[in-house]
Structure 1
């Protein structure tokens, strides 16, 4: 393709439309008259280097994308900015900031010449045709992942950190209320998982695990689709939910926890042993106090705390493994407020959204570490490192001494 002013203008017009900006809004952001931008997009006016850089930043693009021989390709990360096509201003700014951090992290990784991290395996599974098949598939791959990652049956302290260790970018963004998460696979950026930053910690943990299931099974879907109330009944979403439940609170771990609590045993238990003296089998029946065996609200609360899941997820998981019946589940769910009060009183993991609004620093950490390493190896200048600090909203004065110390090692 011959690179002409008309071609560059057309690419700029396409990029502007991808981020749903009007010509008037784009021109105003650059301090130009709308007629000037119209001429640039038509190719009748040359775009200056400064204007090209400003427009690229506004459209969340690399300036070089407009100057290469290849046609402009839509950036799948733009999907983040137009879920359902009605993003708020706050949502758009939050998304743009996280997209920019991700792009800078990828740029630094490539500039350092670091090899792309090994990605988790892809599980080749057919699209589930029923709810039962979806649940069975989700549980199966969760068990396999726990085995591969050598997690045993214990809790996962930081699921987002675990996912990051698998070469997947993770970040929390201000999604619309109906959206909980999004997984994206891209040739340039790799794999990325985004979750709703305003959700309670336990819900974010579940969303990270849910989207991780998509990374393992649905990596080759043609178009990324957010997890939301609009597609919650799709079987692949049910599969991801089953995966998240088994990954975060595995059946084997629940059984072990109940055994430690001396809960969930039948009221009558039979034991058969071999009698060496009589040379025959002997049957013994043991009776347990049925009230002592009953799983109560405080047991569910402690289980939720142990595995860092919500009270409801813990209760439903108990029904899922048949430790309680449907009526017991209904009763326990009605008692959720009492369970949460117990966790608050004991200063354990609180599941309400009020105190769980802390920052999600995973992408920030990755970007800062890459920036320090790039400065240490003279890949970027002090001025470029300052830009990284500004992007992650950490004072340059706090990080520069660390970067200098690393350089002097």
Structure 2
């Protein structure tokens, strides 16, 4: 892209919009305003004015800054929706590994770009993602199990899901609720990342390296955070990776089992299977069939049946 063409394009770009993009790009690569100013041989105050939209950036300056930030010039001159950078923090309850943390932060950056591209495509097509959001559920100082089941039952009723399995859970959350969901590869102990943005709405990234039943559980887990902790970003881990599981995650875990395996439907299906057997007992084969039916692991189904006192404690 030559300087004359860039100059022509820059004349038609809002200074404040371009300034915000330059500021976000600088922050992402960890440069200070003073360091960025040196790149274009200018004073720091000049860089401040550019980022505030008070001074038009020159074509040669934009080329130098784009190169320093590791971003294509076209990313700045193309009119794109500006979104706030995802501020996803790791809770103290996590057993952190710096290498894996860096890997997940890279995933979050990629996820942010996908969400921005998604929004840009919607604007180009003039087809915004329909949002069917419920009010945020009040969960503070409420008993976890009863609250989780009440929310799960309420959401199933709201979405017209009845008390059976949800075979296309991702499609349901995208099309019937309006969440933005992406499957991205992450270190194995991370399950999902959730955040909320005023422009984008609820967004989730699910670990693509996990098996399907684990991904479905992570979708339900992230959905609870959207329902009950909407504006709080969350990095989810598989159970066993916490020093102490936060209450918000314990609620999400409880919600997942009730949402994916509702009590009334599971109870009916369990007794139907028992009646079909000659000895009227639930068999290991029934367990595999029922786990597949609900799209969950045999282990999670066994724990659920134990809680419902349908299987002896310690079966899992």
TM range (shorter): 0.7 to 0.9
Equivalent residue in structure 1 for 2:299, among 297, 300, 312:
312
Contact 1:122 1:219 in 2 (8 A): no
Equivalent residue in structure 1 for 2:310, among 298, 310, 323:
323
Cα distance, 1:96–1:124 mapped onto 2, change above 3 Å: closer
2:303 corresponds to 1:301: no
Equivalent residue in structure 2 for 1:162, among 172, 177, 180:
172
Cα distance, 1:182–1:256 mapped onto 2, change above 3 Å: same
Q: Which segment drifts farther, 252-261 or 86-95?
A: 86-95
Q: Give the distance between the partners of 2:287 and 2:170, measured in 1 at CA.
A: 24
Alignment of 1:216-235 (within 5 A): 216-221=227-232, 224-228=233-237, 229-230=241-242, 233-235=245-247
How far has the Cα of 1:198 moved from its partner?
Answer: 1.0
How far has the Cα of 1:232 moved from its partner?
Answer: 6.1
Residue 3 of structure 2 corresponds to: none
Cα distance, 1:34–1:193 mapped onto 2, change above 3 Å: closer
Equivalent residue in structure 1 for 2:258, among 211, 230, 246:
246
Residue 104 of structure 1 corresponds to: 117
Cα distance, 1:56–1:137 mapped onto 2, change above 3 Å: farther
C-alpha RMSD of matched pairs (Å): 4.1
Q: Residue 213 of structure 2 aligns to a residue in which SS?
A: helix
2:122 corresponds to 1:120: no
Q: Deviations over 1:131-152 (max 9, x none)?
A: xx11111111111111111112
Q: Residue 193 of structure 1 aligns to a residue in which SS?
A: strand
Cα distance, 1:189–1:254 mapped onto 2, change above 3 Å: same
How far has the Cα of 1:49 moved from its partner?
Answer: 3.3
Q: Deviations over 1:170-225 (max 9, x none)?
A: 0122333432112211012211111111111100100001111111121133xx12
Cα distance, 1:236–1:189 mapped onto 2, change above 3 Å: same
Q: Give the distance between the partners of 1:62 and 1:188, measured in 2 at CA.
A: 19
Rg: which structure is higher? 1
TM-score, length-scaled by structure 1: 0.57
Residue 343 of structure 1 corresponds to: none
Cα distance, 1:62–1:321 mapped onto 2, change above 3 Å: farther
Q: Residue 88 of structure 2 aligns to a residue in which SS?
A: helix
2:228 corresponds to 1:198: no
Q: Give the distance between the partners of 1:124 and 1:97, measured in 2 at CA.
A: 30
Cα distance, 1:139–1:54 mapped onto 2, change above 3 Å: farther
Cα distance, 1:12–1:123 mapped onto 2, change above 3 Å: closer
In structure 1, list runs of 5 or more residues that go unmatched: 25-32, 66-71, 266-288, 334-409
Q: Residue 127 of structure 2 aligns to a residue in which SS?
A: coil
Residue 26 of structure 2 corresponds to: 16
Residue 183 of structure 2 corresponds to: 172
Q: Residue 180 of structure 1 aligns to a residue in which SS?
A: strand
In structure 2, list runs of 5 or more residues that go unmatched: 1-14, 48-57
Equivalent residue in structure 2 for 1:49, among 42, 62, 65:
62
Contact 2:287 2:298 in 1 (8 A): yes
Residue 159 of structure 2 corresponds to: 149
Q: Give the distance between the partners of 1:247 and 1:11, measured in 2 at CA.
A: 40
TM-score, length-scaled by structure 2: 0.72
Cα distance, 1:250–1:11 mapped onto 2, change above 3 Å: closer
Q: Give the distance between the partners of 2:84 and 2:295, measured in 1 at CA.
A: 38
Q: Deviations over 1:256-278 (max 9, x none)?
A: 2112212699xxxxxxxxxxxxx
2:267 corresponds to 1:262: no
